[in-house]
Structure 1
Amino acid sequence: MQKRIAIVGGGIVGATAAYYLSKLPGSEKIKVTLFDDGVGQASKAAAGIISPWLSKRRNQQWYRLAKAGADLYPELIHDAQLGTDVYQQTGTIVTREDEADLETLFALAQDRRKTAATMGDVTTLTAQEVQDQVPLLTAPQPGVLITGGARVDGGALVEGLLASASKRNLKISHERVKLNAQGQVITSLGARQFDRVILAVGAWLKELVAPLGVNADIRPQKGQLIELAVKDYPLQEHMPVVMPEGERDFVPFGHGKLIVGATHENDGKFDISVNPEVTADLLGSAQRLVKSVTADSLTGVRVGTRAYTSDFAPFFGLVPEHEDFLVASGLGSSGLTTGPQIGKFLAGSALYGGTPDWSQYEKPLTTYLASSAE
């Protein structure tokens, strides 16, 4: 009899888990159903930078997880046969106006590179050299170039992974589901029982696990970014992404497409409507970097909802006292970096069982999940 596994949530964690559940040894013995209504998902709205190595976060568990996620990407993209429109190691440039700050940043990069071969080469660039690398910029600052940095389109990545898994053992149900106190998944066709359930709904986790008597330390945050049409330089798809000091992230894609953002709007919560004032702020950031950009350059706006914990750290693993359930949430703005590695971890656990030790990557789950009776 085939084992039945459910995934609730089709973002970066759910999609990667589904992909590995279709690829890992033994996948031919399972059936996977993914439930997702597609509303507000952070991953599908995101386009970001995979370059965790210069983060100044003091949380070393997060850094190890983010580094592992960056290391996984080339293998995942190759194995899933996804193209450069989804992910490409273009390099990343982190800029600093002050010379002393630039030297400090470079020293940090050199130190981190000792244990992170994926970083590639690390060099300092003058403002002119930054502009030579990214000719779109009209007001460049000096910076540090990390050749192993990359850009990724979250929506295209999720779509590609789910399409691959759907060719094997994945069925996708486009609906929002709930859980009941008996641990069943309540669908539009009634209650269904699964052998294992992966809960990867991000900011919606608190509501989802409440019937299990579990309280989750999760809050929502709105994020918005803009897409712009800019001059299509030759080989633009190879331009490094830029993390400019004092401005929004600057992510050039090929064929004259530029993405700028994203915002961090705590008051926005689950609101996924476009905020014209925020759009204007993002456009202003773009114009300070590229003088030719105008309101007419705007081609699209993406909005999604991220999930955060009180200490801004992600968590994942077996739900305490409900070990048929695996969970992941709290990825925040680093979801595209950490999500694939978390999804792979959860897929392996759902398929093979056991109690893996992930303590090098996170605090105990009881830090974030507690019995609502307490």
Structure 2
Amino acid sequence: MVKQVAIIGGGIVGATAAFYLSFLQGNENIHVTLFDEGTGQATKAAAGIISPWLSKRRNKRWYALAKRGAELYPTLVHDAQLSTQAYQQTGTIVTRKNHDDLLALYHEAKIKEQHTSAMGQVELLSAEAVKRRLPLLTDAPEGIFVSGGARIDGGHFVSELLKRASDNNLLIKHERVSLTQNGDLHTSEGQKHFDTVIIATGAWMHESLQPLGLNVKVRPQKGQLIDLTVKMPHKWQNMPVMMPEGSSDIIPFNGGKLVIGATHENDEGFDLSPQPAAKQQLLDNASVFINTLTAAQVSDMRVGTRAYTEDFAPFFGAVPAQPNYLIGGGLGSSGLTPGPMIGYFLAQAVFGREITHWQDYTLPVSQYVD
């Protein structure tokens, strides 16, 4: 008998879960329907950097999950045959304002390099060396280069993942659905029952689980990014991304697209309107390093809504006392890094495979769901 699985939410968690449910052994016994309206989705609005190893965050569970996520990416990209437009390992340049702080971080990175193969090689770069790696910079800082770092375009990434899954056992419905009190789904075709439901609705998860009498402790955060068109010679291909301390990430893509972001706005709720002040702030942040940028080069502004928990940590697992409902969320601004690992874990759970050591990556779901 074919198991009927629903996924609500087509962001990084839902899309990865959908792909693995179409790819892992046993997929022939599963049919997946993914419901996603798409409005405000953080992943589709995001372009980011996959490079968690030198993060200032000291949450051990978050780091373990993010580290596994970064390690998963090359395999996932290979298995799903994703394009370089979606993901490319170009290396990351991390900076610090203080030279002594940079040296301390470099020594920490060299220690991690010995037992973290996904990091690749670690190099301490002078400002001149950074400029050679990122020639579009006019005022380059010194930094640390981590060759295993990568850039990702969230929209392309989930779109390509879902296309691969659709070639097998996935049906996509572009609509907003809701749970009933008995756990079925209200859809445009009426009420439907599924054997397992994965709920990955990000900042909207509180609303999603209310019909089950559950309160999810997540809050929305608005994030805005800008795309700029920059004239880049053909030789400026595959440039690394840069994570300047205390400023906006600089993410160059081949073909002359430059992404700067992102903002972190806690008091905007679910508002998705782009703000001129945010655009100017992002442009100013980038101009510290690239003083030739102008507002006329801004070609697009992306806006999405992230989900945050009280302890700024993601969570995933089965809903308490209701094992047929699986959730994953609270990813925050770094969600592109741990998101695929959560999707993978949830897919394994659908197959009935026990996931050992979940406690290494997340607190119990009951910590975030009343």
Q: TM-score range by the shorter chain?
A: over 0.9
* Counterpart contact for 2:92–2:241, Cα < 8 Å: yes
Alpha-carbon distance in structure 2 between the residues aligned to 1:354 and 1:99: 47
- Residue 227 of structure 1 aligns to a residue whose secondary structure is strand
Alpha-carbon distance in structure 2 between the residues aligned to 1:29 and 1:358: 25
AA aligned to 1:261 is G
* Counterpart contact for 2:348–2:354, Cα < 8 Å: no
Alpha-carbon distance in structure 1 between the residues aligned to 2:362 and 2:56: 17
Alpha-carbon distance in structure 1 between the residues aligned to 2:345 and 2:265: 30
When normalised by structure 2's length, the TM-score is 0.98
Alpha-carbon distance in structure 2 between the residues aligned to 1:278 and 1:168: 41
- Residue 335 of structure 2 aligns to a residue whose secondary structure is helix
The structural deviation recorded for 1:353 is: 5.4
Alpha-carbon distance in structure 2 between the residues aligned to 1:30 and 1:245: 45
Alpha-carbon distance in structure 2 between the residues aligned to 1:246 and 1:271: 25
Name the structure 2 match of 1:161.
161
Alignment of 1:70-219 (within 5 A): 70-219=70-219
The structural deviation recorded for 1:105 is: 1.1
Name the structure 2 match of 1:310.
310
- Residue 23 of structure 2 aligns to a residue whose secondary structure is coil
Query: % of aligned pairs identical?
Result: 55
- Residue 289 of structure 1 aligns to a residue whose secondary structure is coil
* Counterpart contact for 1:200–1:327, Cα < 8 Å: yes
Alignment of 1:219-368 (within 5 A): 219-352=219-352, 354=354, 356-368=356-368
* Counterpart contact for 2:345–2:355, Cα < 8 Å: no
Question: Quick check: 145-154 or 268-277, which moved more?
Answer: 268-277
* Counterpart contact for 1:235–1:254, Cα < 8 Å: no
The structural deviation recorded for 1:355 is: 6.5
Cα deviation, 1:6-42, whole Å, max 9, x if unaligned, reads: 0000000000000000011111111100000010000
Alpha-carbon distance in structure 1 between the residues aligned to 2:353 and 2:287: 52
Alpha-carbon distance in structure 2 between the residues aligned to 1:189 and 1:2: 20
Cα deviation, 1:63-111, whole Å, max 9, x if unaligned, reads: 0100000000001111111121111111000112321011111012112
* Counterpart contact for 1:18–1:32, Cα < 8 Å: yes
Alpha-carbon distance in structure 1 between the residues aligned to 2:17 and 2:173: 16
- Residue 82 of structure 1 aligns to a residue whose secondary structure is coil
- Residue 107 of structure 1 aligns to a residue whose secondary structure is helix
Alpha-carbon distance in structure 2 between the residues aligned to 1:79 and 1:353: 20
Alpha-carbon distance in structure 1 between the residues aligned to 2:237 and 2:351: 38
Name the structure 2 match of 1:43.
43
Cα deviation, 1:298-349, whole Å, max 9, x if unaligned, reads: 1111100000000000000111011110000100011110011110110110
AA aligned to 1:326 is L
* Counterpart contact for 2:135–2:236, Cα < 8 Å: no
Name the structure 2 match of 1:17.
17
Question: Quick check: 247-256 or 233-242, which moved more?
Answer: 233-242
Question: Quick check: 142-151 or 182-191, which moved more?
Answer: 182-191
The answer to whether the aligner puts 1:61 opposite 2:61 as a matched pair is yes
AA aligned to 2:196 is R
**Against the structure 1 CA distance between its residues 301 and 183, is the aligned structure 2 distance closer, same or farther, given a 3 Å change threshold?**
same
Alpha-carbon distance in structure 2 between the residues aligned to 1:50 and 1:4: 33
When normalised by structure 1's length, the TM-score is 0.97
AA aligned to 1:95 is T
Cα deviation, 1:338-368, whole Å, max 9, x if unaligned, reads: 0111101101101225575411111111110
Question: Quick check: 96-105 or 176-185, which moved more?
Answer: 96-105
* Counterpart contact for 1:95–1:144, Cα < 8 Å: yes
* Counterpart contact for 1:237–1:252, Cα < 8 Å: no
AA aligned to 1:106 is Y
AA aligned to 1:333 is S
Cα deviation, 1:115-148, whole Å, max 9, x if unaligned, reads: 3110011111111110110001011110000011
* Counterpart contact for 1:69–1:338, Cα < 8 Å: yes
* Counterpart contact for 2:179–2:185, Cα < 8 Å: yes
Alpha-carbon distance in structure 2 between the residues aligned to 1:314 and 1:190: 33
Cα deviation, 1:238-296, whole Å, max 9, x if unaligned, reads: 11100112320000000111000011000122111111111111111122221111111
Alpha-carbon distance in structure 2 between the residues aligned to 1:278 and 1:362: 33
Q: CA RMSD in A?
A: 1.1
AA aligned to 2:277 is E
**Against the structure 1 CA distance between its residues 316 and 235, is the aligned structure 2 distance closer, same or farther, given a 3 Å change threshold?**
farther
Alpha-carbon distance in structure 2 between the residues aligned to 1:125 and 1:73: 26
Question: Quick check: 111-120 or 170-179, which moved more?
Answer: 111-120
* Counterpart contact for 2:72–2:341, Cα < 8 Å: yes
